[in-house]
Structure 1
Amino acid sequence: MRPVVALLALVAIPTFADSNLPPAYWANRQLPDASQEAKAQALMEELRCLVCQGQSIADSDAELAGDMRDLVRRRIAEGETPAHIRAWLIQRYGSWVSYRPTAEAAAWPLWLAPVALLIVGLLLVSRRIMLRSGR
């Protein structure tokens, strides 16, 4: 009997994962001003969903992503710049929330690695060519 109860409890857990609250007002609605909506959409494409992690908040169906879309649209409608909203979200959630690379010192290896690999590749190719030509 205990294994059956444990199995039923595990199956029921995902049922309670989402809240029963309605989505935020601007989560799935567009702003009436087309230029503001374009700014909001561009920003939402740059922000990572904190739940899905592989999708932007524009593409995610997660409840938190809907709340973040609502926040972005409300702040854009109030006149805030996308850069200010993005900076606020990065301050709150860390630079990981943004798909746009940062200029932080911790990210330098990510920028330098492709250049270093290209240089190493060119050196190997040039060495191979020299060995074949008999120099």
Structure 2
Amino acid sequence: MIGLLRGLLIAVLLVLPSAAPMALSPDELLDDPLLETRARAISANLRCMVCQNQSIDDSDAELARDLRLLVRERLATGDSDTEVIDYVVARYGEFVLLRPVMALHTIVLWGAAPVILLIGLIFVVIGARRRSGRPKPEGPKLTREEQKALDQLMNE
């Protein structure tokens, strides 16, 4: 039984890598191998706007195909790699980059969460200290008769 399960596991592990879909179809390939290499390098760094966790090179989405074709079209017309990336970013925004540019707005974006967390912790600590430093409110004062009755109950 164990041998059968082991054999089945090995078969599955051998078949899985070959079952991965190829997002790039043959009709998208450029004739010039140098341009195709450049297109692949650019496509590997552009995010699929549908999948959002894959590059356009790895995605089967229709928009990813359109972006791959756009990259190849721009390269075929003579644009440099930087010009192609700038064109795509101008059209779709910086979110299309898998590796965002290091600029002031991205530093502020990444730094804002820890700063807000630190400010929240400061408020919690200050609030806790204020509560612990306050004297506890006393209950209502007892009349002499009530105090006498309480003292008698306590002494019994």
TM-score normalized by structure 1? 0.59
Contact conserved, 1:28 with 1:66, CA < 8 A, in 2? no
Following superposition, the deviation at residue 101 of structure 1 comes to 2.4
Question: Paired residue for 2:69?
Answer: 70
Question: Paired residue for 2:78?
Answer: 79
Following superposition, the deviation at residue 103 of structure 1 comes to 2.6
> What amino acid maps onto 2:81 in structure 1?
P
Question: Paired residue for 1:100?
Answer: 99
Asked which structure has the greater RCO (Cα within 8 Å, sep 6+), the reply is 1
> What amino acid maps onto 2:87 in structure 1?
W
Following superposition, the deviation at residue 29 of structure 1 comes to 2.4
Pair 1:99–1:28, CA change in 2 (3 A): farther
TM-score normalized by structure 2? 0.51
Aligned residues: 88
Following superposition, the deviation at residue 77 of structure 1 comes to 1.1
Query: Considering only CA atoms, is the larger Rg found in Structure 1 or Structure 2?
Result: 2
Pair 1:31–1:63, CA change in 2 (3 A): same
Question: Paired residue for 1:30?
Answer: 29
Quick one: distance in 2 between partners of 1:66 and 1:106?
Answer: 30
Q: Mind listing any 5+ residue stretches in structure 1 that lack a counterpart?
A: 1-25, 114-135
Quick one: distance in 1 between partners of 2:26 and 2:84?
Answer: 16
Report runs of 4+ in structure 1 exceeding 6 Å deviation: 110-113
Following superposition, the deviation at residue 30 of structure 1 comes to 1.1
Pair 1:28–1:108, CA change in 2 (3 A): farther
